[in-house]
Amino acid sequence: MGLQFDPTNYDQQLDAKRERLIALLAPFGAPEPEVFSSDPEHFRLRAEFRLWYENGQPYYAMFEQGDKRKPVLIDQLPIASRRINELMGPLLEACKKEPVLGKKLFQVEFLTTLSNEALVTLCYHRPIDENWDEAGQRLAKQLGIMLIGRSRGRKRVLQRDHVKEELAVAGRTWRYQQVEGGFTQPNGKVNQHMLSWALDAAGQNEDDLLELYCGNGNFTLPLSTRFRRVLATELAKRSVYSALENLEANGIENVTLVRLASEEVTEALTGVREFRRLQGIDLAGFDFGTVFVDPPRAGLDPATLELVKGYKRILYISCNPETLAANLAELNVSHRVTRCALFDQFPYTHHMESGVLLERR
Average pLDDT, the chain: 93
Among 103, 128, 163, which residue terminates a domain? 163
Residues 223, 95 within the same domain: no
Question: Is 182 a domain residue?
Answer: no
Does 319 qualify as catalytic in the annotation? yes
**279 annotated binding-site participant:** no
Question: Is 342 a domain residue?
Answer: yes
Residues 35, 64 within the same domain: no
Residues 241, 354 within the same domain: yes
- The per-residue DSSP string of 134-171 comes to HHHHHHHHHHT-EEEEEETTEEEESS-SEEEEEEEETT
Full-model pTM: 0.93
Residues 33, 54 within the same domain: no
Among 94, 128, 163, which residue terminates a domain? 163
Q: In the chain, how long is the greatest CA-to-CA distance?
A: 67
**15 annotated binding-site participant:** no
Residues 149, 26 within the same domain: no
Does 214 qualify as catalytic in the annotation? no
Q: Which range of residues forms the domain containing residue 133?
A: 46-163
Domain containing residue 247: CATH number: 3.40.50.150
| Interatomic CA distance for residues 81 and 78, integer angstroms | 8
Q: Over the stretch 186-239, which tens digit does the pLDDT of each residue have? A: 999 999 999 999 999 999 999 999 999 999 999 999 999 999 999 999 988 889
The strands making up 146-151's β-sheet, listed across from edge to edge, are 71-74, 57-63, 46-54, 105-112, 118-124, 146-151, 154-157
Question: Is 222 a domain residue?
Answer: yes
Question: Is 240 a domain residue?
Answer: yes
Residues 32, 57 within the same domain: no
Q: Which of 263, 319, 322, 359 is catalytic?
A: 319
**213 annotated binding-site participant:** yes
Residues 306, 337 within the same domain: yes
Reduced 3-state DSSP string for 228-246: CCEEEEECCHHHHHHHHHH
**75 annotated binding-site participant:** no
pLDDT of residue 206: 96
Residue 342: which pLDDT band, with cuts at 50, 70 and 90?
A: very high
Q: How many domains does the chain have?
A: 2
Predicted confidence (pLDDT) at residue 141 exceeds the cutoff of 50: yes
Residues 23, 157 within the same domain: no
Q: Over the stretch 72-99, which tens digit does the pLDDT of each residue have? A: 899 999 999 999 999 999 999 999 999 9
Q: Which of 165, 180, 264, 353 is catalytic?
A: 353
Q: Name the residue type at position 108.
A: V
**192 annotated binding-site participant:** no
- The per-residue DSSP string of 243-270 comes to HHHHHHHTT--SEEEEE--HHHHHHHHT
Question: Is 180 a domain residue?
Answer: no
Residues 214, 352 within the same domain: yes
